[in-house]
Amino acid sequence: MLACVDESKGDLEIVVGGGVPVEWLKETVSLKNYRSKAGVISWEYRNGEIQVAIAGAAKRYPVRPGIAFRQNHSKLTVRYE
């Protein structure tokens, strides 16, 4: 899974890279223009940092990185457009 919207907590939460294995973090990984209930999600991981862009969202939903990114202590930056 490269992106999904978690609806289990009542409000929407965006999860980026939930299925990305740690081995992939040696390279640049990205997703472009994934359409979801929470807007159009794009993200890129490079050198320990995840840049997330969300377009057309009704509001600013929380964004959570997948476990591999958390284990790697990756920096998360989110931009709403």
Total-model pTM? 0.92
Note the Cα 64 to chain centre separation in Å: 6
Polymer length of the chain: 81
Looking at residue 48, what is its pLDDT?
A: 96
Contacting residues for 8 by C-beta, under 8 A, at least 6 apart:
none
For residue range 6-56, list pLDDT tens digits in order. Answer: 999 889 999 999 999 999 999 999 999 999 999 999 999 999 999 999 999
